Amino acid sequence: MSSTIITNPIIWADVPDPSVIRVGEYFYMSSTSMHSMPGCPIMKSCNLKDWEIVNYVFDTFADNEEHRLIDRKNIYGKGSWATCLRYHNQTFYLCFSSNDTNQFYMYQTTDIENGEWECSVIPGLHHDPSLLFDNERVFVIHGNGDIRITELTEDATSKKEDGIDQVLFVTEYEGIGLRCEGCHAYHLNGYYYLFFIEWPKFGNKRRRQICYRSKDLFGPYERRIVLDNDMGYQNQGVAQGGIVDTPHGEWYAFLFQDHGAVGRIPCAVPVRWLDDWPIFGFDGKVPKAFEARLPTFESKPIVRSDEFEYEENKLSYNWQWNHNPNNKWWTVTARPGYLRLITGHLTGSVEYARNTLTQRTEGPACSGMTFMDSQHMKPGDYAGIVALQSHYGTVGIRKDESGNGYVEMCVKSDTGEQELVESVRYDRDDIYLKMEFDFKNSHDIARCYYSDDGLEWKKIGISVKLKYTLDHFMGCRIGLFNYATREVGGFADFDYFRYTKLNV
């Protein structure tokens, strides 16, 4: 059997709340996607190291003013939270709660890579849920501190009438800032294991992984801290996630670590068993690298370049829209080899611009570059590249009331509005735009550039200090945008998006 060296972090990009299962020789992972659409990415791997995006669970899951960025309404920091992915009786299940709709969503498919997902909506929040199939009964375990167990119907489409719906147990609260949440539930070795993240206010004051176990689903439960380690990075604990076995009987935990503006990045942790307790890591620490009896595999990047050469209006899985798109306002077929973004509503900032197309950014450093044709933009339009999170930065072309072009770099001001930092008169219709990102040691800086030939680059504006904040609750994304401030119907054409990982 071949082996592979697994190095942490597995993906140096925002893949939060990972939920990992194995079906046969393949592993599948889902994660939180909040306001990015399509949502709930499904990733596939044969070795826990190299992942590719193979599907999404939904294109959109709600259609209202918040999801469409109407009148500054939004779902930043909301949307789909903490998915749970499971496989039972030849069917894949994925569930999550959305705290903007106050509902619980259950999706099912028999084909995780190519199939359509059927959706059932159950009223009420089921915070950070975990599905548990047990003796022909279906439960969801959820909550923060007060952990609840709710029984679903056998087909997992609704709450079971007269079924169990009660507090399972109450977790530690003395000196705890964030009480246990993010449940991952399993029935193994004759025990029920429930894994949680917890954040104490004492000691090292970092997030840690907790395990509760019981031989009876309804308790009583024993409690143990199974991991309390920051992997040498700024006291940011590696925690929240579950465990998975390999075809050869090895066990691993898949957790995440907050890593500044780039987001919450997944890590793999070897697990062994002692007296039916899971033992995480080596000597209580997450290894930077370790060997696993898993095959090597050609890596397929989750962030990638795109020449926009498509035969139909269906983009690579690497792309996601910021909030629900309007599919009338974009095309990759009207001008072959170009992404066209058409303005369809008025707004005053990129934060509320619909049809902004995004990908993740990656550490330790990366850059994204595009070539844009602005000749069909209308007065008041602004189009270009964005470093998208709450403290965003943009660089692009703005057309004034006479149709003259200006290269402009903007940021979000302290008042929450978009603020112009620098404007330079630009007489050409075509322009090269670039952003460079430095996430090493949480520098968390984005720099903006433009060029008229793609060879000699001019820096514009300031270095944007990126920040991971709870109002967006997402790692920094790089995106292409075009929005109108005066009249709709103008468009910008992007010839390509070229992405490069950098070492700094």
Cα 137 to Cα 151: distance, rounded to the nearest angstrom: 8
Could you tell me which of 439, 437, 334 has the C-alpha nearest to residue 393?
437
Cα 120 to Cα 342: distance, rounded to the nearest angstrom: 34
Cα 69 to Cα 179: distance, rounded to the nearest angstrom: 33
Establish whether 17 is a catalytic residue.
yes
Q: What are phi and psi of 246, to 5 degrees?
A: -100, 170
Sheet of 320-322: strands edge to edge?
A: 36-37, 320-322, 357-360, 477-483, 382-388, 393-399, 405-412, 418-426
Radius of gyration of the chain (CA): 23
| Residue 232 CB contacts under 8 Å (≥ 6 apart), including other chains | none
Q: What is the DSSP string of 404-425?
A: -EEEEEEEE-TTSSEEEEEEEE
Annotated catalytic residue within 14, 17, 50, 444: 17
| Three-class SS of 228-283 | CCCCCCCCCCCEEEEEEECCCCCEEEEEEEECHHHCEEEEEEEEEEECCEEEECEC
Annotated catalytic residue within 50, 66, 100, 181: 181
Cα 337 to Cα 497: distance, rounded to the nearest angstrom: 11
Residues catalogued as catalytic: 17, 181
